Amino acid sequence: MVLFFSFISINLFSLNMDLINSHYYEKDGRNYLSLPLADSYEYQILNGEGALRLEEYKQIFIQKEISVYATEIQRKLMVFDNEDSLRQWILSEMLPINIEKENIDQFVNDYINAVKERGYLDFGDGKIRFPRKKLLVILD
């Protein structure tokens, strides 16, 4: 499995995808790749940086002859109890891969401010909610 993942990483990253926050995992004997979508709420905040559009991912898989079994766009409502839990999520999920340590706090603060400016679902309970969308790719 590690060799297969390395093959995928090399091919994806060779097309300037080194800024993409992708997650690779294996489950039930299948290989999965979870990719951010540029038109999702969480990446619209970043003006699409760090993500590609669905068509762009498809082009990469075709060009690099990566065998895909199936794809699915996953949607879910993200719910954060407060700004601190949003901050933790940003740190674990949204940091650009190549960010320098001294810029992390500024990135997180800018992201939180952008969420506030853009707006989120507020049901009066103090929780922060917004939709999340990712591309799940099941590899052959």
The predicted model scores a pTM of 0.76
pLDDT category of residue 2 using cuts at 50, 70 and 90: very low
pLDDT confidence bin for 96, thresholds 50/70/90: confident
- Confidence bin at 19 (pLDDT 50/70/90): very low
- Tell me the mean pLDDT in the region 21-46: 89
Residues, the chain: 140
Half-sphere exposure of 54 (CA within 13 A, CB side): 11
Query: Which residue intervals of the chain are DSSP H helices?
Result: 2-13, 41-44, 54-63, 83-89, 104-118
| Average confidence score pLDDT of the chain | 84
pLDDT at 20: 64
The answer on pLDDT for 102 being more than 60 is: yes
